[in-house]
Amino acid sequence: MSVWRVAWLIARKDLRIEWSSRVITNQVLPFAGVTMVIFGFALDANTDVLELVAPGLVWLATMFSLLLLVQRTFAVEADDGALDAMRVAGVDARAIFFGKAIGLASQLLVLEVLLLFAAVVLYGETIQLDGAVLLVTTMISATCGLAAVGTLYGGLAAGNKGRETLLPLLTLPAVAPVLIGATRAVESALGTGVAELSDGWQWVSLLTVFAIAFGVGGALAFGPLIDE
């Protein structure tokens, strides 16, 4: 079986597990929602400020939730030694990496759409039609980068006690370019910042390069990192 075929099977398995366990809908999504509400408290529910900083808050909430999702997606593998079993069964590490990353990216996309919706409802954000293409492209490219970084460091932190605390320390500095790029691009798309719509596209190129770099780098590095 080709790497991509195996990756697809792993992604489908992950999504099925998440669909039946409901951990995402019962825990991660409410967490993300609460984050959006408490950002409102922190900024004193000042609608002018909230509208201005909403893109950043959406991505910040996404990144916090990413940490939970990554822990969740590897807890599933570590519980019964499933990750080791896959390696022993001769499954290519690259396939595991891409499979987990695709599964993670799908969940992240759903989460981002809901967070954006929350920004519209809670922060009074308006989504313009002419920025829609930029918005969707940004979300897809940023999500690919986040999923690649999350999977890579999640694999390293998986399964061993005391390693969970390592995940935020490794992940957050690594996804800083995504936070900067995605926030500015969404600002351009929504027209909240001073940036023009055309400014957003150079951020999309950064996000795309980031996603490719960590997609390729992660696929190469994942095997050595999870081999114990």
Contacting positions for other proteins (CB under 8 A): 152, 156, 160, 163, 166, 169-170, 172-174, 176-177, 180-181, 184, 194-195, 199, 202-203, 206, 209-210, 213-214, 217, 221, 224-225, 227-228
To other proteins, the closest distance from the beta carbon of 58 in angstroms equals: 17
Least separation in angstroms between residue 214's CB and other proteins is 7
Nearer to other proteins, 48 or 227 (CB): 227
Q: Which is nearer to other proteins, 17 or 225 (CB)?
A: 225
Q: How far is the CB of 224 from other proteins (least distance, A)?
A: 5
In this complex, which beta carbon is closest to other proteins, that of residue 131 or of residue 177? 177
Inter-CA distances, 15 with 76, 129, 134, 144, Å: 11, 31, 27, 16
Residues present in the chain in total: 228
Spell out the residues 6+ positions from residue 226 whose beta carbon is closer than 8 angstroms to its own.
Answer: 83, 87, 93, 96, 155, 156, 158
Q: How far is the CB of 221 from other proteins (least distance, A)?
A: 5
**Residue with smaller CB distance to other proteins, 69 or 175:** 175
Residues 6+ apart with CB under 8 A from 181: 142, 203, 204, 206, 207, 210
Residue-wise burial string across 186-215, b where 16 or more C-beta atoms lie within 10 A, e elsewhere: bbbbbbbbeeebeebeebbebbbebbeebb
Least distance CB 222 / other proteins (angstroms): 9
Place of tokens 């989504």: 127
- For other proteins, give the closer residue by CB, 29 or 204: 204
**CA distance linking residue 10 with residue 97, whole number of Å:** 9
Q: Which is nearer to other proteins, 133 or 169 (CB)?
A: 169
CB of 104 to other proteins, least distance (A): 18
Q: How far is CA 3 from the centre of its chain?
A: 22
